[in-house]
Structure 1
């Protein structure tokens, strides 16, 4: 159904042909019946050609093949390794508890610590990241407008150019970027912990999670606001 280049190469085939002279054509069928789901089967090209042998592949045989395949694969529910699910859940619960302890008790400058809510969901973090991006855009707009007004005033008065808006440029923008960086790392951890529950054999994702967990533990004790 899918080739080595990951291209879908299957064909939707008629069990009983859509046109006269076609394999297994039934003149008593209506056009609606010919194009209905019951009269269609998904085959790769080689098997499509092979089933042109209507003596070997009768209508009954093709319908049976389709029914057998659907019984085995079509109704098979997605299953998760519950043992691994509980293991990952317990592991991440311990991790977030540890992060909360580090952040509350061991931050290098607690009064300037970037806020971290260890119970924040992925959606909450995504909304927070979106808001921070908006804040960065607003800061940028403010700085552009501020510089434009300063330039106009200096040109009108003939004075020397003044200093840039230090507080907004070096504090506002810096703090927003820092907060956004922390939020994005936490978002990725939240995503990866759920992804691994569903894809336990993905070693690259597991390695990425461990790297991000280590990075976030450092942020929990070191990320702070510029003041």
Structure 2
């Protein structure tokens, strides 16, 4: 596994300066550093650095994950609370409290000395070592491993493959429903039952005919196409943002723009 990227010292310095040396959680005044410069607070990722972490966003690059905009300083108590209950503390909420908190200290003259900076960097490294250790100590062989060395292109490919796999599973269930009536008739014949009477029942009263028709042919396909539409749009938005600072992304961006354009030309509701 590729070594995890470290947060840049200058990022720590700006975070601390704009923290007012206080936890950013609303109403909390717990210091990040004590009077003796001992670190008691923690540097938290709003969108987790590693797969499986709270609010993880697979489309963020490693640099984006460790950027100033994705980091917030909190006391250890509130760090545990937000990461332990990610549904209650979504990305938008955490970014709003970060902005509100830092606005008060935008003109702050607080500065990190080398000792304080080293403590912040070491605490961040230790936190992610602990996250990795959760998987390493697993003995069941069932724990889902995460990787931080995937490129944006690889992550996008994996997401698209997952959508395709889900659609294949859904298609299998459709085929299973379609064959249910014939299989039921064959079972009755093996048991010596007269199956001719089944044909006298109207199809709309026969539970084995067109089972789950609306879900199979309307609900499912419409939702899959909607999922693809938003997935393609999200990919392009992320690539556009990344391409602003990394010109090598442009070929990939052009590829997905064309793909979405062709998809959208045929994107009609199933009805």
With the length of structure 1 as denominator, give the TM-score of the two structures: 0.32
With the length of structure 2 as denominator, give the TM-score of the two structures: 0.27
Task: Please tell me whether Structure 1 or Structure 2 has the larger radius of gyration of its CA atoms.
Answer: 1
Q: If each structure's helix is expressed as a fraction of its own residues, which one has the higher value?
A: 1
